[in-house]
Amino acid sequence: MSDLPLADRSITEVARALRDRQTTARALTDACLARIDRDAERLNTFLALDADAARRAADEADAALARGEGSDRPLLGIPYALKDIFVTRAVDWDGGELPGGLPTTAGSLILEGYRSPYASAAQEAFERAGAILLGKTNCDEFAMGSSNENSAYGPVRNPWDESTVPGGSSGGSSAAVAGGQAYFALGTDTGGSIRQPASLTGTVGLKPTYGRVSRFGMVAFASSLDQAGPFTRTVRDAALVLGALAGYDPRDSTSVDTPVPDYAAALTGEVRGLRIGVPREFFVAGMEPGVESAVRAAIDVLRELGAEIVEVSLPSTDRGLATYYIIAPAEASANLARYDGVRYGVSAGAGELWENYERTRGSGFGDEVKRRIMLGTYALSAGYYDAYYVKAQQVRTLIKDEFDAVLADVDALLAPTSPNVAFKIGAKMDDPLAMYLNDACTLPVNIAGLPGISVPCGLSEGLPVGLQVIGRAFDEATILRVADAYERAAGFAELRPPTARSGGEPVSA
């Protein structure tokens, strides 16, 4: 047993305690709910919560455990949270409110009060695995942002220092896992929205290969880039959650029908025999020196463990940002056309149809979402389509081909996750380009559709730094193996914000 408070332990540790009857699902749930309650105003992590429903589910899990069940439900009794971009069923079959159903907002005013008539594939997968849904976490509106400041429901604050951001767009999920409010949380990653907030909050964040996890019931941002994945406190926990989540789903036409390996079995702790590349272009200009030195030290740890480390080159890396900021907004402008104020969501109530569209969307979307709709619409508009959209898709081919060529020679890549540690709330809000640069090291991975994981590799200026491990398509097993071996050797798995041990009281107001 670690000496961490119950709410701050890993899934692996509390699952063992559950099986050994040393704790209960109810105790785990109450521990999370107490933290959520304690820090509700301070962190602003949850947008919807049903404590009673969570306690009932916990009691059912405890009854199942008492009957000796659960060997086929790997997350039985484990409390978790979903980013509020995954729909959760909240409408009964007669059109009324489903008891215990949670609304879905995607962080947007335009979906305020929206109650989904169906469950996302993620909610179903975790229900099958026995996990207990606590609530829905705050996020940047429609997952567009790198700081969680674009939520219509207020920014999330980083448990490490509440004057700083928790990263984004899955900032509520990263802060919830870092702050002892959930044993794991699901996020989405279109350009770095799982890995970057994981890096900024000292958690593990895994973006699986495009096609590995069903996107059914995930509010769409950029359909060729979006992917769902977990935030956890250890790499082993990430392997466990991915195992419950991954697999083919006929309801998502981009989901790929390929077997799901036993990810935990890949965690051998051994990296001898692996050849791992360090792409020099990922150490971008403007990177903080404390981040660079932590990442270089992590690479040395893996070399000492016996991995063969080689420098490699991905020359088109610096084209990633421009490519992404054409493709993602173009896809977003098409996906967000569905918010018309007629079928669901809020309506401005104008008397004439076209005016109602424009007023509803003008008042329902926030600044960043409008900016991206405008950028995407421009890139797709007559006269600019070839110069912007087709050009970006061609550069996408170059970026993907470079990754494929390098990954034919090495088993995985090591890089920084974010060029900086958590920054102050408000510091980059007036400069969209400075904000976009946060994802310079993560978005090329989405462009190529590859899996990537961020694992804590120490602190710089008292704030967490993340090491990114990137792998071949559908080879999550190897990046989990590398990240786990590093985590075991480096000893940052019990890194927690100072408030975790502060005896129930926030360190500052």
Partner 1 sequence: MAITRADVEHVAHLARLHLTDEELDRMQTQLSRILEAIETLRDVDTSHVGPTASVIQLENVMRDDVATGPMPRDVTLANAPLRDDPFLRVPTVLEEGR
Nearer to partner 1, 16 or 319 (CB): 319
Binding of residue 109 to partner 1 (CB under 8 A) = no
Binding of residue 59 to partner 1 (CB under 8 A) = no
Span interacting with partner 1, options 66-74, 196-204, 369-377, 462-470, rule CB under 8 A: 369-377
d(CA 494, CA 202): 10
Binding of residue 72 to partner 1 (CB under 8 A) = no
Q: What is the closest distance, in whole angstroms, from the C-beta atom of residue 247 to partner 1 in the complex?
A: 15
For partner 1, which residue of 170, 214, 316, 454 counts as binding (CB under 8 A)? 316
For partner 1, which residue of 287, 309, 322, 489 counts as binding (CB under 8 A)? 322
Contact call for residues 127 and 163 (beta carbons, < 8 A)? no
- Assigned token pair, 342: 């007629």
Which residue among 10, 83, 136, 428 is the active-site one? 83
> Looking at this protein, which amino acid is placed at residue 415?
A
Q: What is the closest distance, in whole angstroms, from the C-beta atom of residue 359 to partner 1 in the complex?
A: 5
Active site residue 83: yes
Q: Measured on CA atoms in the order 14, 15, 20, 25, is the torsion positive or negative? A: positive
Binding of residue 211 to partner 1 (CB under 8 A) = yes
d(CA 247, CA 119): 17
Which residue among 10, 151, 193, 418 is the active-site one? 193
Q: What is the closest distance, in whole angstroms, from the C-beta atom of residue 397 to partner 1 in the complex?
A: 4
Span interacting with partner 1, options 10-18, 68-76, 90-98, 495-503, rule CB under 8 A: 90-98
d(CA 227, CA 223): 9
Q: How many residues line the site for partner 1 (CB under 8 A)?
A: 73
Active site residue 2: no
For partner 1, which residue of 333, 417, 438, 454 counts as binding (CB under 8 A)? 333
Binding of residue 370 to partner 1 (CB under 8 A) = yes
Determine how β-strand 132-137 pairs with β-strand 204-207: unpaired
For partner 1, which residue of 100, 117, 247, 290 counts as binding (CB under 8 A)? 117
Binding of residue 398 to partner 1 (CB under 8 A) = yes
Span interacting with partner 1, options 48-56, 163-171, 348-356, 419-427, rule CB under 8 A: 348-356
Q: Measured on CA atoms in the order 35, 206, 230, 364, is the torsion positive or negative? A: positive
Nearer to partner 1, 63 or 342 (CB): 342
For partner 1, which residue of 40, 63, 374, 507 counts as binding (CB under 8 A)? 374
Nearer to partner 1, 251 or 424 (CB): 251
Residue that has been written with the tokens 């077997």 in this structure: 259
Q: What is the closest distance, in whole angstroms, from the C-beta atom of residue 147 to partner 1 in the complex?
A: 17
Q: What is the closest distance, in whole angstroms, from the C-beta atom of residue 396 to partner 1 in the complex?
A: 4
Binding of residue 296 to partner 1 (CB under 8 A) = no
Q: Please, is 509 exposed, middle or buried when counting C-beta atoms within 10 Å of its C-beta (0-12, 13-18, 19+)?
A: exposed
Please report, as residue ranges, which positions from 407 to 446 form the binding site for partner 1 (by CB under 8 A).
432-433
CA end-to-end distance (rounded Å), the chain: 31
Q: What is the closest distance, in whole angstroms, from the C-beta atom of residue 144 to partner 1 in the complex?
A: 13
Q: What is the closest distance, in whole angstroms, from the C-beta atom of residue 100 to partner 1 in the complex?
A: 16
Q: What is the closest distance, in whole angstroms, from the C-beta atom of residue 122 to partner 1 in the complex?
A: 20
Nearer to partner 1, 43 or 373 (CB): 373
For partner 1, which residue of 6, 42, 109, 224 counts as binding (CB under 8 A)? 224
Q: Of 93, 39, 160, give the one whose Cα is nearest residue 458.
A: 160
Nearer to partner 1, 37 or 318 (CB): 318
d(CA 2, CA 7): 12
| Residue 82, beta-bridge partner list | 136, 186
Nearer to partner 1, 324 or 492 (CB): 324
- Assigned token pair, 455: 């694992």
Active site residue 169: yes
* HSE of 109, CA atoms in CB hemisphere, 13 A: 15
Determine how β-strand 308-312 pairs with β-strand 275-279: parallel
Nearer to partner 1, 86 or 365 (CB): 365
d(CA 125, CA 89): 13
- Region for residue 81 given its phi and psi (left: phi exceeds 0; alpha: psi -120 to 50; beta: otherwise): beta
d(CA 483, CA 451): 13
Nearer to partner 1, 385 or 501 (CB): 385
> Phi and psi at residue 353, in whole multiples of 5°?
-60, -50
**R_g (Cα) of the chain, nearest Å:** 21
Which residue among 108, 169, 174, 199 is the active-site one? 169
Contact call for residues 209 and 448 (beta carbons, < 8 A)? no
| Residue 460, beta-bridge partner list | 463
Nearer to partner 1, 12 or 356 (CB): 356
Q: Which residues contact 386 (CB under 8 A, 6 or more apart)?
A: none
| Residue 459, beta-bridge partner list | 464
Q: Of 491, 453, 492, give the one whose Cα is nearest residue 471.
A: 453
Q: What is the closest distance, in whole angstroms, from the C-beta atom of residue 150 to partner 1 in the complex?
A: 14
* HSE of 475, CA atoms in CB hemisphere, 13 A: 16
d(CA 171, CA 165): 8
For partner 1, which residue of 351, 503, 504, 505 counts as binding (CB under 8 A)? 351
Please report, as residue ranges, which positions from 245 to 274 form the binding site for partner 1 (by CB under 8 A).
250, 253-254, 256
For partner 1, which residue of 394, 405, 507, 508 counts as binding (CB under 8 A)? 394
Q: Which residues are designated catalytic?
A: 83, 169, 193
